[in-house]
Amino acid sequence: MLDLVLVLAFVAYSVSAGLRARRLASRDLGEFFLAGRTLRGWQAGASMAATQFAADTPLLVTGLVAAGGLSRLWLLWIYGLSFLLLAYVFAGPWRRARVLTDAELVELRYGGRGALALRACKALYYGGVLNGAALAMVVVGAVRFTEVFMPWHAWLPEAWFSPVLSSVRAFGGEFVAIGGAAPDVAGADALLSLVMLLGFTALYSLTGGLRAVVATDVLQLAIMLVGTALYAGAVLAAVGGPEQITAALVAGHGEAQAHQWLSLWPGDEAGPALLVVLVLPWLFQASADGTGYLAQRCMACTDEAEARRAGLVFAWLQIAVRSVPWVITALGLLVLLPRGPARSTSPRASRRSCKASTCCCPRARAA
């Protein structure tokens, strides 16, 4: 019941934020896309951090830690350099340019017919191809969550669910679910969840513009940070405290494996590869100059100082604040849910995990 109350409260807040900002957002494009250039630095920075706080990112962090230890997180942390570059170098010029979009800056910077063609290519590539790929990955992550928390086939009457199920079967929308549901049922659940989520997001973003988006972003970030902190606290309590994590990892997996998981720096053999990771990705990524929604938040600030402050707040939240509960949770889960087949001791589970025709396990052959 508490979960339902929180979700409904957030939905009500988001819709009301869009409706409240509707009058201002409808004045002109500057009001809609840049909130009338009235954002404070902390609001813009929190909005940037919330935009990159996708539902699938904690899963990525946990997987990286489980696969190679804390040192693998440099794949993410190194982008803090580009965030600082945004704060100290690019945020001020983005605000000073007084453009509506980063694509518009291309034409302002270069001029001529070639600049117009470059602007069009940039808009199509970044707005279509890259954003489409990013949205696809986010949708996949969202579906994996909603199939567990939104079982529409169990909630809706059969008369309501059957037409959706028939549509999924007709258009081939089945997919393999992690929760054990049939592929067509899982596809119908996913379709209903995505329509609801995308429709809800479009409602407040299209009516209120960037003002409504930032208002919901700030609240979402607060909820996500508090939620992950509480989850990390629950994991620590289950493990027995932070000092027990190291001891449990050593006892369960050996000192060498525990050292690999807990070390912030990879071994000497990873030297050249680490240099590639540290030098190349953050500088040569597509948004190294803070383009896209990062530039939009900077351009929406009241002045250049607030734009720079937005970049600093974003870097601090993105790299430092959100990483702490994720790291605690990932390490604690390695203790509570140890990797490998030794997790299952049930004969029935063991029989399910291997096939007698291909497995050399004596229990499987006997089954």
* pLDDT tens over the chain, length 367 residues: 777 788 889 999 999 999 999 999 999 999 999 999 999 999 999 999 999 887 778 888 999 999 989 988 988 898 898 999 999 999 999 999 999 988 888 888 887 888 888 888 888 888 889 888 988 888 888 888 888 888 999 999 999 999 999 999 998 887 787 777 899 999 999 999 999 988 998 999 999 999 999 999 999 999 999 999 999 999 999 999 888 999 999 998 889 889 889 998 877 666 677 777 777 777 777 777 778 899 999 999 999 999 999 999 999 999 999 999 999 999 999 999 886 544 443 333 333 333 333 333 333 333 3
- Structural contact between residues 329 and 317, judged by C-beta atoms closer than 8 angstroms: no
pLDDT at 351: 37
- Structural contact between residues 44 and 307, judged by C-beta atoms closer than 8 angstroms: yes
CA atoms within a 13 Å half-sphere pointing along the CA-CB vector of 305: 0
State both tokens at 302.
Answer: 């009241």
DSSP state of 180: S
Q: Number of helices (H) and strands (E), helices first, in the chain? A: 23, 0
SS3 118: helix
- Structural contact between residues 66 and 334, judged by C-beta atoms closer than 8 angstroms: yes
pLDDT at 346: 37
pLDDT at 271: 67
pLDDT at 299: 96
pLDDT at 143: 85
pLDDT at 342: 41
Q: What is the pTM of this model?
A: 0.83
Q: Which amino acid is at 75?
A: L
pLDDT at 229: 96
Q: Which amino acid is at 310?
A: A
Q: How far apart are CA 16 and CA 19, in angstroms?
A: 5
Q: How far apart are CA 144 and CA 314, in angstroms?
A: 27
Domain ranges of the chain: 2-337
pLDDT at 347: 35
pLDDT at 268: 67
State both tokens at 124.
Answer: 């199509």
DSSP state of 73: G
Q: How far apart are CA 51 and CA 294, in angstroms?
A: 9
